[in-house]
Structure 1
C-alpha cells in the first residue's frame, strides 16, 4: 500500500519569474532525487495541537477526503516537514500573526528533535505558545506513485508563500543541497544537466530535470512558470485532481504516462491523459 505523504511547494516572486525551493534527497525517494520539502505522515501528526484556519472538515472537503482526521494529518505533516527541512514555520501566536525569525541554535535543535522524533511537533509549538496556521497552505494536487514502484507514496501537494522575516536553511544533520530556483529558467534548461550539475552530487551530475525529478515536480514547475505571480498562483481555485503515472510502451520503449482523474460536480470521475 502507498504511504500517505505531504509535500509543500514554497514560492516567492523574483524579477525573473516565480521561484520555488527545491532540495536534494538521497536514496530512492518516491518524491524524487530533487524535490519539494516533504515526507510521509507520522503517527504523531494525528496528535492534538493548537490550530488556526480552516477546520479539519473543511480541509477534508478541499482535499476530496471523507476522513477528517486523515485530512488534518496531511496538513500537519506538510507544515511539520516544511519546518524540519527548511526551518520555515507556518505557525503563530494567533490566527493573524506569524512567528518571526525562527532561526539560530535553539530553533535548529527543535528541528533536529522533531526530525528524529525525539519531540512532537505539537510540543514544540505549545512550548512557544504557537498554533499551526493551516490557512497559509493551499491545496494543489494528489499524486499516487506508479504501481510498479518499490516504494510508493500517496502524496498531497500544498503551496505556501515564503513568510516575511523567515529564510529557509538546511537541516544541520541531514541537509546536503537546497536552493531557490526560477521555474521558468529551470524549464528552459530542462534538456541539459544544469540542475544536476548545480546540485553537484554523484547521483545528480550530468542528469536532466526529468531524470532527477518525478512527474509531479515537473508539472508543478510548468504551472509555476506560467503563473502571473505568487498572489495569482495561490489565489487560483483548483478542483480535486488525482494524478497516477502509468507505465506504457511507446514504439517499444517503456515510458511513464500521467493519468489525471478529475472529480466532477456529480461525483463522477473523469480521466485525462
Structure 2
C-alpha cells in the first residue's frame, strides 16, 4: 500500500492517496475491525483556519501542537468545535450568512454562519489573531497585551463569550478576510469525529500570532515546502520534542487534510494567488483500508487537478 510520505511536495497522484494512521487512530481501527462495522459516532461540527504569509522561501502557514488526541491531528492549523454561544455573534461585515452558505456549498445558512464565527473565534483564542474591526475598512490593532490575553483565556474557558468581547470593544467580524477551502469529515471508525470546514486568512497588519498562555505548547510559522521536504524524517516531531511527537514523521503527526492543504500551499505562488484562486469546496472523508498484511491505512479519494489542485495554483 503506497504511503503519502513518499510523494514529493507539489505532486498530486490521480485517483486515490494513502496515509498512515497515528497511534490513537490505530487503536480505534483495530477495535472497529475486530468487532465489525458499527454505526459511527456523530461528528462534531468544527472550523479550522489556515493562516498564511509570504516569505522569500515560499508561502508560510502557522501550525500548532494539539494535545489530547484531537481529531484535527497532533499538529494542525488553529481550530476547534462550534459552540452554542457562536449564535450570539450578530455584528459582522463582508459576505452575508446567505452568501457564505452558497460559497460553502450548503443550504443551511445558520450552520454556515456558525462555522464562520467559530473559525474567527478559534483562531483568536489559539493565536490572538482577530479578524474584526469597527467597520468594513478597519481592523482592530494593539491586541497583544495582557488584557487581550486574559480575554482569550476567558473565552477559551467559556467564562465569557466571543460575542460579549466584540460588543465590549464595538467590533464586527470581518468575514471578508476569510476564504473557504475544503470540507473534511473524520473516518467512520474514529472514536472522536469532526465535520470540519477549513478556511484561509492572512493576519491583519500589526497582528502577530502568540500561543494561549494556559494551553499553548508549540506553534510557529513554517514554510510549507520545507515541512514537506522533510516529511519522511522526524524533524518536525523532534523539534516539538514531546513523547507523542519525537521520532515521528509528518504523516504520523497530521491528519490527511493538513498534509494535502500543505501541498497546495507549497504549490501556490503566494498569498494573493492562493486566496484568490477559484476552487470548489470539495468534500473528503478518509476511509479505513486493511492491507493484505493486516496493516491499516487511510484512503482519500482526491479531486482532479481541474477542480482546484496544486497545478492550478502555480
Tell me the TM-score range normalised by the shorter chain.
Answer: over 0.9
Task: Report the counterpart of residue 76 of structure 1 in structure 2.
Answer: 117
Give matches, 1:72-111, under 5 Å: 72-111=113-152
Measure, in 2, the Cα distance between the counterparts of 1:156 and 1:109.
27
Q: Which runs of 5+ in 1 are unaligned?
A: 263-273
Question: Which of 238, 246, 256 pairs up with 2:298?
Answer: 256
Measure, in 2, the Cα distance between the counterparts of 1:231 and 1:176.
30
> Does the 8 Å contact 1:49/1:126 carry over to 2?
no
Q: Which has the higher strand share?
A: 1
Give matches, 1:45-194, under 5 Å: 45-194=86-235
Normalized against structure 1, the TM-score is what?
Answer: 0.94
Measure, in 1, the Cα distance between the counterparts of 2:131 and 2:161.
16
Measure, in 1, the Cα distance between the counterparts of 2:203 and 2:235.
25
Measure, in 1, the Cα distance between the counterparts of 2:236 and 2:303.
30
- Residue deviations 1:93-124 (CA, integer Å, cap 9, x gap): 00111011211110001101110111110110
Deviant stretches of 4+, over 4 Å:
none
Shift of 1:176: 0.6
Give matches, 1:208-247, under 5 Å: 208-247=249-288
Task: Report the counterpart of residue 265 of structure 1 in structure 2.
Answer: none
Shift of 1:63: 0.8
Decide which structure has the larger Cα Rg and report it: 2
> Does the 8 Å contact 1:190/1:208 carry over to 2?
yes
Q: Name the SS for the 2:297 alignment partner.
A: strand
Shift of 1:162: 1.9
Q: Give the paired residue count.
A: 262
Task: Report the counterpart of residue 25 of structure 1 in structure 2.
Answer: 66
Q: Name the SS for the 2:196 alignment partner.
A: strand
- The 1:188–1:243 alpha-carbon spacing in structure 2 relative to 1, beyond 3 Å, is same
